[in-house]
Amino acid sequence: MATLYRTLSRRRCFHALTSLTRTYYSSPLHQYNKYISNLIRSGRLREARALFDSMKHRNAVTWNSMISGYVHRREIVKARQLFDEMPQRDIVSWNLIVSGYFSCRGSRFIEEGRKLFELMPQRDSVSWNTVISGYAKNGRMDQAMKLFNAMPERNVVSSNAVITGFLLNGNVDLAVGFFKTMPEHDSASLSALISGLVRNGELDMAAGILHEFGGDDKDNLVHAYNTLIAGYGQRGHVEEARRLFDEIPDDRGGGEKDQRRFRRNVVSWNSMMMSYVKVGDIVSARELFDRMVERDTCSWNTLISGYVQISNMDEASKLFREMPSPDVLSWNSIVSGFAQNGNLNLAKYFFEKMPHKNLISWNTMIAGYEKNEDYKGAARLFSQMRLEGEKPDKHTLSSVISVCTGLVDLYLGKQIHQLVTKIVLPDSPINNSLITMYSRCGAIVDACTVFNERKLYKDVITWNAMIGGYASHGLAAEALELFKLMKRLKIHPTYITFISVLNACAHAGLVEEGRIQFKSMVTDYGIEPRVEHFASLVDILGRQGQLKEAMDLINTMPFKPDKAVWGALLSACRVHNNVELAIVAADALIRLEPESSAPYVLLYNMYANLRQWEDAERVRVLMEEKNVKKQAGYSWVD
DNA sequence: GTAGGGTTAG
């Protein structure tokens, strides 16, 4: 007891301890076992182990609970150690250790699990099912089927594992065929088939199956319905979802509480609500929420996320305050809501008040800083995250790469690159942002390296990033060469590709090439030109001194010219000393951005160059009158 | 204490 006290008191395990002392003398072993399993269930594995180690008498259940704790955490080495130390293993211990090996990724583990399965002194249906589903989940359907056929007594659970396995590997037809030949289905068979079909995008087929076989077992049928409602909802097919929802008898009003009856449950309502939230129909979502008899945390969270989505933070935080027991998801939604709607202070306030943070909480807050262009804040939070021992994942790193881009911080960028290589393959889309980061930081060679490391799969964004990098470095020949290569490989360019291509032409003074590309974009690729493309074209013409053509283009383009368009023209006017057009462009720019000093400064310099001192002075006075402050280093063309 | 199925946050 004394050792137990010492080990536990250090681990702030006060509640477990007091109840334990209370029952210590009067309780048999199973009370201890219950404590261990409770600790494991609430994720307190180390405390469970301390208790386990301090126990004088243990039975198989004690050992098995501890092993199951490690198996759940995927700590297979520790589980195996206990398994080996265990004086008398029973069938549950064997099943646990086998399932532990099969739930670890990697063929080495699977082989070891199989070896243990072969060594088992006896097997029950759980042993067989563990190995079958283990193979199925790891894409080894050949082995799964072999064992399934070798099983002495098949049951529904093993068949269900086979269905899941086929569907995990995308074998929709095999799964449906297998389901139809099964001697009996239970509710889980139908649910497994429906959810697998949904995952494979076969929603209408799933609906057909549901209506054909749903009658066979009304027991727990609602699970399958819920899966399909959610499946339709997630794809924005709200009418189909609603039709299914309406097919389930209402759960309100009736007094009888027969769990087995086919009725809506809280998940049905939540899934239907989610479908409305997905399409932005907050009114219908709210209506359902108000009509529900039983709400769980997920119901509140779904509605909160709906209000967050439409940027109604007043209502979202009102619900958050009202809800009975907010969990980490609720907090994350609120933090995300404020961060995405530009209220970083409130986001930070809630982030710091959170009782528990998980990886997503950190990612949400870092992404919030990044979105609001507070790059320093994001970088600070990222280092705090690492200090607190939270491991970044690809979402974290993706935000932080953008942060490096924003800060133009090559030093931090290279560090992040190191981390990225540890967690993703060179073919991951996250490397696209590394290309952009490197080229924005002036390290075009590093950008090129990342680009070339993607050997197996480059998507359009990869190509766009690299072409854009070349273009912004003035390497027009390289940009155009890469663009040619991209087309040869039948990668379909996007409007972003053409912005870079046209920019490259502008830098290199390739007027004719620019015109050709612009035309090709519309006629060969059917891409609607955007205002950015016109800005590039104006830039191209302007740099060549074709100012009148540039002005004509501005007058005839189907958009209201933006600051990039006028900025390009104004720069060109300065280079070619065209004061009249410069005045037009500067005037337009000032109207678009009254607080910007750049047009004034440019005009002033032009007049000064032409030694028209009076006009120059007029511009300076005007600028003072409008109370525009001069800022250094500002340019529109980039 | 072990095998198969459902909803919410980056």
CA gap A563, A566 in Å, rounded = 5
CA gap A618, A586 in Å, rounded = 14
What single-letter amino acid sits at A632? A
Nucleotide nearest to A329 (CA to C1'): B9
Measured from the CB, is A168 under 7 Å from any atom of strand B? no
What pLDDT is attached to residue A354?
96
DSSP state of A249: P
User: What residues contact A399, with CB distance under 8 A and at least 6 apart?
Assistant: A363, A366, A367, A370, A378
Measured from the CB, is A275 under 7 Å from any atom of strand B? no
Strand spans (E) along A210-351: none
Higher-confidence position of A71 and A11: A71
Q: How confident is the model at residue A261 (pLDDT cuts 50, 70, 90)?
A: confident
What single-letter amino acid sits at A297? T
- Scan residues 203-232 of chain A and list those with Cβ within 7 Å of strand B: 220, 222-223, 226-227, 230
Angle formed by the axes of helices A531-543 and A511-523, to 10°? Answer: 160
Asked if residue A16 has pLDDT above 70, the reply is no
Over range A206-219, report the average pLDDT.
Answer: 81
Burial class (CB in 10 A: 0-12, 13-18, 19+), A335: buried
Over range A375-387, report the average pLDDT.
Answer: 96
Q: Are A465 and A432 in contact (CB under 8 A)?
A: yes
Phi, psi for A306 (deg, rounded to 5): -65, -45
Closest CA to A215 of A164, A156, A262, A271: A262
Q: What is the pLDDT of residues A536-595, one digit of tens each?
A: 999 999 999 999 999 999 999 998 999 999 999 999 998 898 988 899 999 898 898 888
CA gap A232, A248 in Å, rounded = 16
A253 CA – B3 C1', rounded, Å: 37
CA gap A613, A618 in Å, rounded = 9
A156 CA – B5 C1', rounded, Å: 12
Measured from the CB, is A336 under 7 Å from any atom of strand B? yes
- Scan residues 77-96 of chain A and list those with Cβ within 7 Å of strand B: 90-93, 95-96
Q: Are A101 and A67 in contact (CB under 8 A)?
A: no
DSSP state of A627: T
A228 CA – B9 C1', rounded, Å: 22
Q: What does the mean pLDDT of chain A come to?
A: 89
CATH class of the domain comprising A530-638: mainly alpha
Q: Are A102 and A70 in contact (CB under 8 A)?
A: no
Is the pTM here over 0.85, yes or no?
no
Q: How far is CA A105 from CA A82, A192, A279, A391, in A?
A: 21, 22, 37, 20
Asked if residue A634 has pLDDT above 50, the reply is no
Q: How far is CA A636 from CA A408, A560, A602, in A?
A: 18, 17, 12
Q: How confident is the model at residue A19 (pLDDT cuts 50, 70, 90)?
A: low
What pLDDT is attached to residue A221?
87
The tally of CA atoms less than 13 A away on the side-chain side of residue A59 is 8
Over range A7-16, report the average pLDDT.
Answer: 45
Asked if residue A23 has pLDDT above 50, the reply is no
What pLDDT is attached to residue A105?
79
CA gap A390, A362 in Å, rounded = 9
Q: Are A134 and A112 in contact (CB under 8 A)?
A: no
Nucleotide nearest to A64 (CA to C1'): B1
Nucleotide nearest to A340 (CA to C1'): B10
What pLDDT is attached to residue A9?
44
Angle formed by the axes of helices A613-625 and A598-609, to 10°? Answer: 160
Q: Are A592 and A562 in contact (CB under 8 A)?
A: yes
- Decide whether A185-250+262-294 matches A530-638 in CATH topology: yes
Alpha carbon A390 to chain centroid, angstroms = 18
Q: What is the pLDDT of residues A447-504, one digit of tens each?
A: 999 999 988 788 999 999 999 999 999 999 999 999 999 999 999 999 999 999 999 9
CA A289, A295, A299: angle at the middle one, nearest 5? 60
Q: How far is CA A374 from CA A107, A343, A365, A405, in A?
A: 45, 12, 11, 12
A296 CA – B10 C1', rounded, Å: 22
Burial class (CB in 10 A: 0-12, 13-18, 19+), A309: middle
User: What residues contact A480, with CB distance under 8 A and at least 6 apart?
Assistant: A501, A504, A505, A513
Q: Are A370 and A403 in contact (CB under 8 A)?
A: yes
For residue A433, the tally of other CB atoms under 10 A from its CB is: 22
What pLDDT is attached to residue A17?
47
Higher-confidence position of A184 and A88: A88
Burial class (CB in 10 A: 0-12, 13-18, 19+), A253: exposed
For residue A466, the tally of other CB atoms under 10 A from its CB is: 29
Over range A45-50, report the average pLDDT.
Answer: 92
Closest CA to A404 of A383, A429, A363, A375: A375
Asked if residue A225 has pLDDT above 70, the reply is yes
Q: How far is CA A573 from CA A216, A360, A559, in A?
A: 79, 50, 21
Over range A173-184, report the average pLDDT.
Answer: 91
Domain with residues A185-250+262-294, CATH architecture = Alpha Horseshoe (1.25)
Q: What is the pLDDT of residues A361-371, one digit of tens each?
A: 999 999 999 99
Q: What is the pLDDT of residues A321-352, one digit of tens each?
A: 999 989 999 999 999 999 999 999 999 999 99
Q: Can you list the pairs that A562-565 forms with residues at least 24 positions away whose Cβ atoms lie under 8 Å?
A: A562/A531, A562/A535, A562/A592, A563/A589, A563/A592, A563/A593, A563/A636, A564/A531, A564/A532, A564/A535, A564/A636, A564/A637, A565/A531, A565/A534, A565/A535, A565/A538
User: What residues contact A481, with CB distance under 8 A and at least 6 apart?
Assistant: none
Measured from the CB, is A433 under 7 Å from any atom of strand B? no
Q: Residue ranges of the domains in chain A? A: 185-250+262-294, 530-638
Q: How confident is the model at residue A598 (pLDDT cuts 50, 70, 90)?
A: confident
Q: What is the largest CA-CA distance in chain A?
A: 103
Over range A259-284, report the average pLDDT.
Answer: 91
A195 CA – B7 C1', rounded, Å: 13
Measured from the CB, is A402 under 7 Å from any atom of strand B? no
Asked if residue A30 has pLDDT above 90, the reply is no
Nucleotide nearest to A364 (CA to C1'): B10
Q: Are A368 and A347 in contact (CB under 8 A)?
A: yes
